[in-house]
Amino acid sequence: MTEIALPEASPRDREVQHVVLQLVEAYAFAEAAAVLNARLREIESGRRSQIERVFLDWCALPADARPGFLTYAHHRRSPELGRPADQ
Angle between helices 69-77 and 50-60 (to 10 degrees): 120
pLDDT of residue 86: 47
Helix (H, G, I), strand (E, B) or coil at 78: coil
pLDDT at 50: 82
Query: What is the model's pLDDT at position 23?
Result: 92
- Residue 1: the pLDDT is 56
All residue ranges of the chain with pLDDT < 70 are 1-7, 79-87
Burial class (CB in 10 A: 0-12, 13-18, 19+), 72: buried
